[in-house]
């Protein structure tokens, strides 16, 4: 069960490939969705350093810790190994919606879901995710398997009283309908929130959390800024989804947890709020969802 390698993250502050370290946040926050196990594309020989170094770099930037998120069995096993390796990590485990159809076709989805449920028993695994629906990368032939897998993850989250981290790509209406049909877990997070003001209002009404990623800083993402403007501040979270979605002005470089202050500062400026004030709020929201890191 724990045969997966101890975390070998990709982040290296001094590499010219990565964004420069931002000015540290005045109040520490947590990156509530990241993938320390995924090597950044093209990062080459200098990319791999110890997990401790990656978290040290994050901490120096005012990112106190993170939620390491699984997408399949190897990365979910990795999440369990990672939370045992460093107290600055909590974890989430799941089969990604883009992985569910292939596992189902091979007759392996049930066994995978059973293992996810078993991994979720670890006391530092605090969420089931990322699960949900992705109509962008998976075509119509995979929809039924995605829906089945999503429903099973909802069940696991509820039976273990864990938060649910949702991956929703081009599937807002069906994600919302599924949550209503199944009965949503007590704590639901739309990871890398990709909706507009209308979806944000639905989240407000249902008490679902909206986790903003670097995408909110992208020039072409006015819909996300509109959503942020109407989102209930008590439901705001922030994440990197590293190594993806590096915030402006460092798009094109690999992302890492220490880069998150660029996104948080951008959110504060869009909301017309003091950075420290927003950080305090998001920190409280993060703890309300995942509990304590300590
Ligand atoms: Zn995702
Ligand atoms: Zn992710």
25 assigned to some structural domain = no
- pLDDT digit string, tens, across residues 26-44: 999 999 999 988 865 433 3
Question: 194: CA distance to ligand 1 center in Å?
Answer: 10
pLDDT tens, residue by residue, 216-253? 999 999 999 999 999 999 999 999 999 999 999 999 89
Q: Please give the distance, rounded to the nearest whole angstrom, from the Cα atom of residue 191 to the centre of ligand 1.
A: 6
> Does the pLDDT of residue 46 top 50, yes or no?
no
Task: Give the CA distances from residue 149 to residues 37, 77, 110, 134, 152, in Å, rounded to whole numbers and listed in that order.
Answer: 23, 18, 9, 12, 5
Q: Considering the entire predicted model, what is its pTM? A: 0.92
For residue 190, give the ligand nearest its CA. Answer: 1
Centre of ligand 1 to C-alpha 192, Å, is 7
Measured CA to CA, the distance from residue 184 to residue 102 in angstroms comes to 26
In this structure, which residues have their CB less than 5 angstroms from ion ligand 2? 241
Residue 50 carries which DSSP code?
Answer: -
Closest ligand relative to 34 C-alpha: 2
Kindly state whether residue 143 falls inside one of the protein's structural domains.
yes
Ligand with an atom nearest the CA of residue 98: 1
Ligand 1 centroid from CA 52, angstroms: 24
Pick the closest to residue 151 from 182, 120, 130, 187 (CA basis). Answer: 182
Would you say residue 276 lies in a domain? yes
Q: What is the mean pLDDT of the chain?
A: 91
User: Hey, is 75 helix, strand or coil?
Assistant: helix
Would 8 be classed as within a structural domain?
Answer: no
| CB-based neighbours (< 5 A) of ligand 1, an ion | 130, 167
Neighbouring CB atoms inside 10 A of 137's CB total: 11
The CATH number that applies at residue 235 is: 3.20.20.140
- Residue 85 CA to ligand 1 center (angstroms) comes to 24
Name the domain count of the chain.
1
Ligand nearest to the CA of 166: 1
- Tell me the HSE value of 215 on the side-chain side, using a 13 A CA sphere: 21
Does residue 126 lie in a domain region? yes
φ, ψ for residue 119, nearest 5 deg: -65, -35
Looking at residue 16, what is its pLDDT? 57
Would 283 be classed as within a structural domain? Answer: yes
Strand order in the sheet with 236-238: 29-34, 63-69, 89-93, 125-134, 163-169, 188-190, 209-212, 236-238
Residue 134 within any structural domain of the chain = yes
Residue 202 resides in a domain: yes
Range of the domain at 211: 37-290
Q: Compute the distance from residue 129 Cα to the ligand 2 centre, in Å.
A: 9
Q: Is the pLDDT of residue 11 over 70?
A: no
Whether 167 shows a pLDDT value over 70: the answer reads yes
Question: At a CB cut-off of 8 Å and minimum separation 6, what does 18 contact?
Answer: 11, 12, 253, 254, 256, 259
């Amino acid at each position: 069960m724990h045969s997966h390698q101890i975390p070998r993250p990709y982040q290296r502050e001094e590499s010219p490939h990565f964004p420069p370290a931002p000015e540290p946040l005045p109040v520490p926050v947590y990156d509530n969705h990241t993938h320390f196990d995924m090597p950044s594309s093209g990062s080459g020989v200098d990319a791999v350093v110890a997990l401790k170094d990656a978290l040290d770099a994050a901490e120096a930037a005012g990112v106190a810790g993170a939620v390491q998120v699984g997408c399949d069995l190897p990365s979910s096993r990795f999440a369990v190994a990672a939370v045992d390796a460093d107290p600055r990590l909590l974890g989430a485990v799941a089969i990604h919606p883009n992985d569910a159809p292939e596992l189902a076709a091979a007759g392996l989805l049930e066994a995978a879901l059973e293992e996810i449920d078993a991994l979720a028993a670890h006391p530092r695994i605090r969420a089931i995710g990322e699960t949900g629906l992705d109509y962008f990368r998976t075509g119509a032939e995979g929809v039924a398997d995605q829906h089945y897998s999503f429903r099973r993850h909802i069940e696991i989250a509820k039976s273990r009283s864990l938060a649910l981290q949702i991956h929703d790509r081009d599937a807002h209406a069906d994600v919302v309908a599924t949550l209503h049909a199944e009965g949503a877990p007590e704590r639901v997070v739309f990871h890398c929130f990709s909706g507009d003001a209308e979806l944000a209002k639905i989240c407000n009404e249902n008490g679902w959390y909206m986790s903003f990623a670097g995408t909110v800083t992208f020039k072409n993402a006015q819909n996300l800024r509109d959503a942020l403007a109407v989102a209930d501040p008590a439901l705001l979270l922030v994440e990197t989804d590293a190594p993806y979605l590096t915030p402006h002005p460092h798009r094109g470089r690999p992302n890492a947890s220490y880069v998150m202050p660029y996104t948080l500062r951008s959110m504060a400026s869009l909301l017309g709020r003091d950075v420290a004030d927003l950080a305090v709020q998001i920190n409280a929201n993060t703890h309300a969802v995942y509990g304590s890191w300590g």
